[in-house]
A and B are shown apart, each in its own frame.
Chain A
Amino acid sequence: MNSITARRRHPLARYAVLILALSLLGVVYALAAPVGDRADAAIASGKADDVAAGKDLFAAHCASCHGLNGEGSYSSGGGSGPSLVGVGAAAVDFQVSSGRMPYADPGPQAPRKRLPEWVNQDSIRQLAAYVQSLGGGPTKPSLESVDPSKGDPAKGGELFRANCIQCHNFVGSGGGLTYGKYAPPLNPATPTQIYEAMITGPQAMPVFNDTTITPDEKRDMIAYIVSVRQQTDPGGSGLGRIGPVTEGLVAWIVGISLLALAAIWITAKKRQVNHD
């Protein structure tokens, strides 16, 4: 005990500890990363097997546009795709779990669509692990960090109004953008997808990283979005919740039509038989 205490205070002890730690790290790294630079990915997004399986999935479903190693490609006739180095597992989870990727029919913007057969929890995780291994990037958030019940909807509402509604509309009904792009409605998006969209900035959307909006604030915003979209409209039918456009349509098509019919009914009379 005494000897350990004495040696601990030796001037060279700190260097010894440092060297020990470094070599330990090196050994663990060498053991855990048989395929070299993919160790952090395996740690971050699952097992090392996922990366290998993900690479196969990638080659089968993504490589035609994004390149065999995710380096991206460009061709003027369509079929080009950006580099995926550094986009992170969160981007893969968002794009693939919402059906946006693989991109079936290149246009101004990838639409949310039905998932292809091969897409499921496991294949998304494997694909994400592979892309994460290419160069890191934001990872899929934990379930707790997107749990609406843990957020403050009122605070989230203020952030939502300040940052989101100029494209996604008051209640996340979506809206049009330039050149055929659009901000999609937020109703079908899961809390995880909303979070991932904020940290990866898909398509026309800007990135809201953790210094702009903290993870807690993101959860507040998710709490607001979910609470408002689950709300039963207190005033009757919500009319698509897009504001005065549908209200005006209803005023004319329902209101004026009904009253015109009522007027026709009130003034209708049978053709009188002439008695004179």
Chain B
Amino acid sequence: MSLDSTPKAIAGPANFVDERIGAGNFLKRNLRKVFPDHWSFLLGEIALYSFVILLLTGTFLTFFFKPSMGEVVYNGSYEPLVGVRMSEAYASSLNISFDIRGGLLIRQIHHWAALLFVAGMMVHMLRVFFTGAYRKPRELNWIIGVLLLTLALLEGLTGYSLPDDLLSGAGLRITEGVAMSIPLVGTYITFFLFGGEYPGHDVISRFYSIHILLIPGILLALISAHLILMWVQKHTQMPGKGRTEQNVVGAPFYPSFMAKSGAYFLFTFGVLALLGTFAQINPIWLFGPYTPADISAGSQPDFYMGFLEGALRLMPAWEINFLGHTLALSVLIPALVPMGIIMTGLALYPFAEQWITGDRSEHHVADRPRNNPHRTSIGLAAIAFYGILWLLGANDWISAKFHISLYTTTVVGRWAIFIGPAIAYFVTYRICIGLQRGDQEVLHHGVESGVIKRLPNGEYIEVHVPPAEDIAAHVLGKKRIPAIEAAPDGEGIPPKGARGPLGRLRARLSQTYSADTDAISLDGHHDGADGHHADGHHAVNGAAPHAGVGAGADKESTRSIGH
């Protein structure tokens, strides 16, 4: 018996299944699917695997959780609450924590997994954004991702409200306030949601259905669509040797990527188990049962809601009367505007970029963030905007722990929310340009070899060697950012797309968006040679065949920054 033939015990059942399902061909084709190897391409899997763990631990929790606001007197093992009246939801959450074997561990893993689910989505999204991987043909998958992130926030909110503890009640109260502030329909929505006057007797069971059925169902469907689209459209790859728009360089799904991905699931599970074991999260027994009369200092939501909390804390107390209706702008603006700016901005960015650059072509090779400085700067400005709101969501702790006056944090935050993103934009832009110049330096001058030579005339020079082939290929993967044709023709008439106020704006944006990458070119052209670097130049010339690839080496317009 040779090792090449399939053992009968496997071949038989496999054949039986294949004859009925016919998956053999599909698997044969897809198991060999190639995945590129780059650490940042695994970040999305943090979210995926956290979601799997959320489903499993969540199922365990549903076995023991009672989504009811009926009042009971606690009589469990947690001494400081014995005899206290509370909702059944809170009492059953306490029971899960103290009286059900492994309950506290599972609860904590569930909550940590929720944090890593959203955090994983965020880092994954940032990777996709900064490498331009959302570009055609992946815009729809990008929008699915934005939807997933939005739904995850809602899933989190409904989830941490369920135990009906005092902290979650604070979140519920804000939810009520936000719903109430919506013009015209606010009160109706509030009464519909809470089944009457706040807090009512329905909201926990309603949130329960939403949290364990509705949103997870939609999440599951969207995640499947997200993965299928990724599979069909194939993965993007970072620029490098032999990587083109037509191929994917990497390892096949089976066995290589499957092993890596499986290992990564175990890593995710391991980190979550570690956190769930050693770091206490959401200690509801310390918060006490919810009553609308009580509120604690330092009430914060989970981190992904922090930016909304911060917006609410920064907002001045504006309230206007419009045609006999009170508009609570102090709640409406912080609840809707930052969310709108961030989520709508994310969803529209691929299309806005296409409009500005006029680029309708497909992209499968990702950008290095430095090579599209304006995009990267916009991303960092958005991070600064989000980050400042997020930070100010904890301004009472900043005030208490660092002894800064609370009002000072608010006033500083109100300025920083406008100035911070501008500074982030400018600084990031300069850093990107600096990194590009560094790249150019490496290509033109080579890499310092550490060898010092003494010339016959007594001068010392350091020998530069050409960069390693793969690094050079990675750097040379830079592409020029396209721009629309905006220059007027011979008779002074601008082209079609650049007419009118909107057209002129578009032309201007387009010029700016693509501008500096023209000036900093990575071609192999190098003007002039200073005598004292003669040896280094000689070495660099050896790299010229690589460096010259694809870039117009003799272009007059090219300005060398090398010296």
- Report A's interface with B, CB cutoff 8 A: 108, 153-155, 157-158, 161-162, 165-171, 173-180, 182-183, 224, 227-228, 231, 233-239, 241-245, 247-248, 250-252, 254-256, 258-260, 262-264, 266-269, 271
Contact = CB atoms under 8 A, between A and B. Distances in A.
Contacts of B82: 154
A263 B286 contact: no
A170 B407 contact: no
A255 B97 contact: no
15 contacts: A157-B288, A165-B296, A170-B287, A175-B397, A177-B406, A236-B279, A243-B167, A244-B167, A248-B306, A251-B116, A251-B275, A256-B46, A260-B123, A267-B41, A271-B470
Interface in B275-301: 275, 277-283, 286-288, 291, 293-301
B512 interface: no
Nearest to B407: A178
Per DSSP, chain B at the interface is: helix
A56 B240 CA distance: 83
A241 B151 CA distance: 29
B306 A175 contact: no
B37 interface: yes
B275 A250 contact: yes
B320 to A, nearest CB: 26
B16 interface: no
Given A165-B294, A169-B298, A245-B298, A264 B39 contact: yes
Contacts of A179: 405-407
B116 A176 contact: no
Interface in B166-189: 166-167
Given A170-B167, A234-B98, A176 B396 contact: yes
Interface in B284-338: 286-288, 291, 293-303, 306
Interface of B: 37-43, 46, 79-84, 97-98, 104, 108, 112, 115-116, 119-120, 123, 166-167, 260, 263-264, 267-268, 271-272, 274-275, 277-283, 286-288, 291, 293-303, 306, 394-400, 403-407, 468, 470
Contact of B403 (A180, A231, A238, A250): A180
A158 B288 CA distance: 8
Nearest to B277: A236
Given A228-B286, A255-B275, A267 B42 contact: yes
Given A154-B80, A242-B298, A248-B306, A255 B280 contact: no
A266 B143 CA distance: 29
B280 A266 contact: no
Contacts of B297: 165-169, 174-176, 183
A161 B104 CA distance: 24
A170 B282 CA distance: 12
B299 A243 contact: yes
B296 A235 contact: no
A190 B275 CA distance: 33
Given A153-B79, A166-B297, 19 more contacts: A157-B81, A161-B296, A162-B294, A169-B298, A177-B406, A178-B405, A228-B80, A234-B98, A235-B108, A236-B277, A237-B280, A244-B302, A254-B279, A255-B271, A260-B43, A262-B271, A263-B42, A266-B260, A266-B264
A182 to B, nearest CB: 5
Given A179-B407, A233-B280, A244-B303, A162 B293 contact: yes
